[in-house]
Structure 1
Amino acid sequence: MSEARPSTRQLLLLGLVQAVLFVVGAVLGRWLGLALGLDAFGPGGYSNNAIFGILLIGLGGGAGAQLARAWFTRRYGSPRS
């Protein structure tokens, strides 16, 4: 882990990895919701099942982005330095 500012290439890598893991996390959240019977895009409109399905998709996407950020910080240091 270096103490210098991350290079532009490293910050671009952070953005790319965050985007990919956000999508992967959201897809995993969708699959988990479907496995639990919480269909975010079901025909029932905004029922409780749909709301909790949407919540799982958001939590999965956010967790993926945070995982990418933690990986980057561990490898290159804080991107805010």
Structure 2
Amino acid sequence: MTNKLLIEGLSDAVGFVGGALLGFWVGRMLGLDLFAPGYGNASIGAIVLVGLGGGLGLQLARRWRVSRQKGDK
């Protein structure tokens, strides 16, 4: 049981952080600055991309985990 929870936590963390970093770099390539002073359109766009990337990465990690569990059975 502990091993299952460890895999769940680590895969969620890796998926979220990986997706957020991917969103950050996509924003940088589009010229959006997450750390710009104030909340201009470029900063808000970068925040949205990081949030979407993190959420999508988390969902991909969970789908990977479910497909891995189906393969074990």
Query: If the length of structure 1 is used for normalisation, what is the TM-score?
Result: 0.79
C-alpha distance in 2, partners of 1:11/1:35?
A: 36
- Give the deviation of 1:11 after TM superposition: 2.5
Q: Which amino acid aligns with 1:22?
A: F
> Given the alignment, which residue of 18, 26, 39 partners 1:46?
39
The alignment of Structure 1 onto Structure 2 pairs a total of residues equal to: 70
Identity of aligned residues (%): 56
- Which runs of no fewer than 5 residues in structure 1 stay unpaired? 1-6
Partners in 1 of 2:5 and 2:65 — Cα distance?
A: 9
* Correspondences of 1:1-81 after superposition (within 5 Å): 7-43=1-37, 45-77=38-70
User: Partners of 1:68 and 1:23 in 2: how far apart?
Assistant: 11
SS at match of 1:23: helix
User: Which of the two has greater helix per residue?
Assistant: 2
Larger radius of gyration: 1
1:29 shift after superposition: 0.5
